[in-house]
Structure formats: C-alpha cells, structure tokens
Amino acid sequence: MITYWQQENGLFVKKDRNNLNLNERVWVDARNVTSKEISILEKTYNLDHDHVVDSLDPDELPRIEQGEGYVLTIMRLPVFLPNSEVRYHTAPMGAIIFQNTIITLCWTDCEVLKDLSANRIKDLNIADFPAFITRILSRADTMFLRYLKEINRSTNSIQQELQESIENNELIQLFNLEKSLMYFTSSLKSNQLLLEKIRKTKIIKFDEEDQDWLDDVEIDNRQAMEMANTYSQTITGTMDAFASVISNNMNAAMKQLTVFSIALMLISFITSFWGMNIRLPWSKSDSWTGFTVICIGCFVIATSSFILINFMTKIKKKIRRWKNK
C-alpha cells in the first residue's frame, strides 16, 4: 500500500495523490506493496528497478549509494511478528531521497514506520532530509532496545518454568529467542557499518546538529549490540546448563534401571535351576513348601540386592561431597 504524507504545523497529514501541495515536500510511504504499485512508483519517480527490488529484499544489507537524481539508503529495522514462532525479526527499509520527495520502501509493516506516520517522533522535519534519516535510525535503535528488554523478560520467565519442569516447549521458545537475537545482532552490526559510511560519505551533507544526532545514534546502536550479545550468551549458557541437567537425569534413571535389572537377574538365575532336567530338592514333593521357600528366597535376595546397591550409591555420594569440601 502506498500512502502520501505532507506536514502541516509539524504533523504528518495523509494526502490524496491528486491533492498534494507541490510546494511542500512529500513523504511517500510504501509498505506491503504489490507488483502493480511497484510499477507505479518506478514509472512515476523514474526509479531503478534494482534499487526497488533491493529495498524489498528481506535479506538485503544496509548501504548508501547514489542513483539518477536521488540517493538510496537501506537500513534494517526491528519487526515484531506476534503470530510467528520467531516473533522478533528484522526487515530492510529503503529510503530514496529526491530534492522534494522521500520514498520509504519496506516489504512489511513495522513499529518505526507506524511511529512516523502516527507523529510519535518529536521534532521531525521532512524538509530536512538528513535529519529525517537520522531520526529513523534513532527510532530504530529505540525499538531494538525495547524488543531486547522484552526478550530478556521472556528468557527469565522461561528459565523459571524450566526450573520446575523441563519440557520441549520451553526449550523451543528459548531457541526461537536465540534466533531473534542472532537476527538483531547481525542487523545492528550492519547498521553500525552504515552509520560509519554515512559519517564519511559526501552524498548526504549533515550539519552540526545532525552530526550530534549521529553520535547519539551510534552510542545507542553499540549499546543494543552489547545487549544482544549478552542476552544471546545467556540463552546459550542456559540451554547448555539444562542440557546437562537432562543428561544427568537420564544417567540417574539408567542407574535405577540397572539396579532393578541386577536384582531380577539374581532371581532368574535361581529359578532357572528348576527348569533343568535334573533332580532338585522338593522336586517330588506334592506340597507347596518348595515353591514357597524359593519365592521367599528370591524376594529376600532381590530386596537385599536393591538395598545394598542403594546403600553403596549413597556412600559414594557422601565420599565425593567430603572430598569436594
């Protein structure tokens, strides 16, 4: 969908394409565009098809380059997808800057563009295109930091659930959060390279105020990168720790099964004698005395074996604890 915006008294107002004030600068907001709308943009503003395709490519990396009569800046913005398994993602946004028009292209809807159109970003002047780009990058860092805090809260909640019971669902949630952090880290690093290139390039001229904004954006971007790396390491450590817990629980279960199998092996060893074709005690007796004695003997041996093995296991644990002290 293509939406046209112009500012009135510092606020963005939606305009019809045929009722635009040609004396005022225009923001063309293109989100979730169709192939027909892409063709309209390319013909209306004489855009390079490759630049449009790159701006809508989900895997495109940030960059800045000169086009015919315009400047293309591609950056990556955070995206929240509530109905997806990986809820936190990133998407490229292309900003095409003409003398009197700026076009933003994004394959999906995101909070940064919503905030722009809803006038939630203060002191935003579309007449100052360098400042406009800087404010978008600043808002992107703000959203990155907000989503990172949400990821951290979700991680802490899942950790508490895992302490009570380890289930696949919680581990899958942790894995998806780790994927989100990987997307964030990659995008933040790419945006950092873009900021460094913007500072060095002469394609867009920034005044002192814009330079100060760039400094603040770089600080926020580095902070977001550090947070993403820290949270990612935390989740990785948590998953490794719980993997060790699962392995230890499995080993404990195998030990218990081994104890039972040894006890049953002794019983089967004794009872196997009465399956042989040789003369054995009580073999010709019509009473239940022999059967009763054998059953009691097997029960005593099995119980004694189980108690003895458990006792030896506890003794070994106490010896290990004593050595550790």
For range 302-323, the mean pLDDT: 70
What's the pLDDT score for residue 226? 92
Would the pLDDT of 153 be above 70? yes
Would the pLDDT of 280 be above 60? no
- Of 80, 76, 57, 75, residue with least CA distance to 65: 75
Look up tokens 């995206």; give the residue. 79
For range 268-287, the mean pLDDT: 59
Tokens in use for 236? 């990785």
pTM as predicted? 0.75
Would the pLDDT of 271 be above 80? no
CA 21 to chain centroid, in Å, comes to 44
CB 105 within 8 A of CB 55: yes
Res. 74 pLDDT band, cuts 50 70 90: very high
CATH superfamily for domain 2-245:
CorA soluble domain-like (3.30.460.20)
Give the start-end residues of each E strand in the chain. 2-8, 11-15, 26-31, 63-66, 71-80, 88-97, 101-106
Look up tokens 């993602």; give the residue. 89
For range 247-267, the mean pLDDT: 68
CB 160 within 8 A of CB 109: no
Question: Could you tell me the sign of the dihedral formed by the alpha carbons of 122, 135, 110, 17, in that order?
Answer: positive
- pLDDT tens track for 96-121: 988 888 999 998 888 888 888 888 88
How many degrees, rounded to 5, is the angle at CA 150 between CA 147 and CA 153? 155
Question: 4-18, 142-156, 239-253 — which one is most confidently predicted on average?
Answer: 142-156
Q: Determine phi and psi for 121, rounding to 5 degrees.
A: -105, 120
Q: Determine phi and psi for 137, rounding to 5 degrees.
A: -65, -40
Q: Could you give the percent of the chain with pLDDT greater than 90?
A: 18
What's the pLDDT score for residue 323? 59
Distance CA 157, CA 13 (A): 41
CB 215 within 8 A of CB 144: no
CB 28 within 8 A of CB 4: yes
Residues with Cβ < 8 Å from 318, sequence gap 6 or more?
none
